[in-house]
Amino acid sequence: MECGKTFSRPTTLKEHQYIHSGEKKPFSCDQCGSRFSISSSLKTHQSPIHVTSVIR
């Protein structure tokens, strides 16, 4: 990577790459449009509110 960091999980790498892109909250809820800086926050948001959304 451009900063030399390595990540064991692809999702972590993807989240880190947004630092370079300048996007602070790249994860948006497709149900209500709420935005989150990390995917785990998005999933935490979706699980109680959008119970019908399938997260796999």
- Residues within the interface to Zn ion (CB under 5 A): 1, 3, 5, 29, 31-32, 34
- For Zn ion, the closer CB: 4 or 56: 4
- For Zn ion, the closer CB: 3 or 56: 3
How many alpha carbons fall within 13 Å on the CB side of residue 19? Answer: 10
- Structure tokens given for 24: 């602070």
Smallest distance from Zn ion to CB 27, Å: 11
| List of residues 6+ apart from 11 with CB closer than 8 A | 39
- For Zn ion, the closer CB: 25 or 32: 32
